[in-house]
Structure 1
Amino acid sequence: MADLIIRHGGRPTVVASMQETPLSDNREALAFVDSLRKGQVDTVVFLTGVGAKTLAESVAGECSITELVQLLDRCTVIVRGPKPAAVLKSWGVRIDGRAAEPNTWEELLPELERLDAVQDRCVAVQEYGVPNDVFYDAIAQRGGRVMPVPVYRWSLPEDTRPMEQGIRDTVAGVFDVLLFTSAHQLANVLAVAERLGLQDAWRQSAASCLVGSVGPTATSALQSAGLRVDIEPAHPKMGPLVRETILEAISRTRPPSSPGAR
């Protein structure tokens, strides 16, 4: 991201705000494999690429990748975006459906219905970080039975000092633009700001910045926290987020042309 920001004329400060931590207890992943073997799973939804990889690694002692692919081929397989699709393709898994952009859980629902993969079906969902209860409720409302498959969780970075400094710099008015690429980033920022006794000050300072969000999920989290979102690109990718936000920031700082000026 830093290179993208520099390329578009910005001065980046990139701070890690979370890390993926595999679950030490893989009982639910093994239970998922057992259910696949028994033919009890009809549909499998992969939400993230790292989650797909972590799932395979967590069951590797009990289920080879070859067997896992064979088991998945008995099911309807749906992916949320290009990253899980790339992982499954590398394994040779058949992919039956893909969510349209912006690749949120809401775009998964039409695919589930189109493929007749939800009503009276057991739908296994590879979780990413935290359970998505709203998505699970939507599946249940359509007659599906949800089997959550947690494989990792989001946690704070081991070293939070850069994050703490970023929060202090925001409060000090150092930044013109704040970019968010994940809903959970905000949760961690607010938690650390609260620990520093700076959450209210951070919120006030963030309100004076131009805020860019990579997509609807991050936007929803920001708005739920009472923060204004100025830019959300049509395509939920890093490049459009950086480009569109910096262009907007430049347009806001450029003095208006005087009448008749050429």
Structure 2
Amino acid sequence: MTFDSVSNSSSRPLRVCSFESRKQDEMRSLIERHGGVPTIAASMREVPLENNVAVFEFLDRLQSNDLDAVIFMTGVGARALLEVVETKIDRATFFDALQRCCLVVRGPKPTAVLREWSVRIDHRASEPNTWRELLSVIDSGLSFPKPASKSNGPADQPLTGRAIAIQEYGLPSADLYSALTARGASLLPVPVYRWELPTDTAPLEAAIRACVAGEFDVLLFTSAQQIRNVLEIAERLNLRESFLAATQRYRIGSIGPTCSEALREAGLQINLEPSHPHMGHLVRETLASH
């Protein structure tokens, strides 16, 4: 989806800055393959939650048949959840317990993980796989395997008496939680990771300074947390306002609506969202439209 146009007045290769962390090599290769000159400045670090009480509570309730549905938000988070679970029980027991619930996935990555586990998937959100598509699936009616438990909540709400666990990854989805609570659900957030700044922020600092100096043509963002961390470092450098002003000169590609929403909230203007929320589409379509 193209929002406006930013032209490249010269025939030189486009200078592209990406804030990708987990798939830096893949992003660099994609940019080079499509004729760009890449700068990859990692903006995030995944930190496992130690002594994850929330996962153990989730596991206890799952084994006690006290959950009606489990929502898997990300593939990486699903794998991380399994790693913690396996410190308590074997995976076969975990998978059997999951299948006594209604299982919902947000997009293709958690879908792939659950298929790898040979675990049944009951519902899947459509692209672009934001909380809105997930809520639409839920509003269409979930295939719960058992009747709702008694609840003091309003009887006319579709999720009253339903206990729903949500595998979190990074920041919780406050909008989704609010919507589900309004529909009567009892929620159990299950955080697996939290996002922190990279241990070495020097490359990110250098990229921010280069952005302010006008050394790029294109900026690429693949998650909402990236812009939050970028602006935190820019603030430390006393360059937040200069960075935001500089971004107005660049073409900005965003992986999808959730990321775009965070960018707009931060004051950036989005030029392009790809036809599919994948890195390959993001790079190809953003560079091709410049």
TM over 0.5: yes
- What amino acid maps onto 2:93 in structure 1? E
TM-score calculated relative to the size of structure 2: 0.83
Q: Structure 2: 5+ residue runs without aligned partners?
A: 1-26, 145-157
Give 1:110 deviation, angstroms: 2.0
CA apart distance, 1:59:
2.2
Aligned to 2:224: 183
Deviation at 1:113, TM superposition (A): 2.6
Partner letter of residue 223 of structure 2?
S
Match of 2:178 in 1: 137
Structure 2 partner of 1:203: 244
Amino acid at match of 2:207: G
Aligned match for 2:210, one of 169, 180, 191: 169
The alignment partner of 2:177 has SS state of: helix
SS in 2 for 1:147: strand
Q: CA deviation at 1:189?
A: 0.1
Write the deviation string for residues 155-192 of structure 1: whole angstroms up to 9, x where unpaired: 11111111111111101100010000000000000001
Q: Kindly indicate whether the alpha-carbon contact (under 8 Å) linking 1:78 and 1:98 is maintained by their aligned counterparts in 2.
A: yes
Alignment partner for residue 49 of structure 2, among 18, 23, 26? 23
- One-letter code aligned to 2:137: E
Which amino acid in 2 is paired with 1:242?
A: V
Distance 1:247 1:196 in 2: 33
SS in 2 for 1:13: strand
When the two structures are aligned, how many residues end up with a matched partner?
249
SS of the counterpart of 1:12? Answer: strand
Aligned residue number for residue 192 of structure 2: 151
List structure 1 runs of 4+ shifted beyond 3 angstroms.
Answer: none
Name the CA distance, whole Å, in 2 between partners of 1:56 and 1:172. Answer: 45
Which of 142, 165, 169 is residue 124 of structure 1 equivalent to? 165
Secondary structure, counterpart of 1:40 in structure 2: coil
Residue type of the partner of 2:232? Answer: A
Name the aligned partner's letter for residue 19 of structure 1: R
Question: Once the 2 structures are TM-superposed, how far is the Cα of residue 234 of structure 1 from its aligned partner?
Answer: 2.3
Task: Find the aligned partners of 1:151 and 1:194 in 2 and give their Cα distance.
Answer: 28
Uncovered stretches (5+) of structure 1, i.e. residues with no partner: 250-262
- Give, in angstroms, the shift of residue 61 of structure 1: 1.8
8 Å CA contact retained: 1:26, 1:59 = no
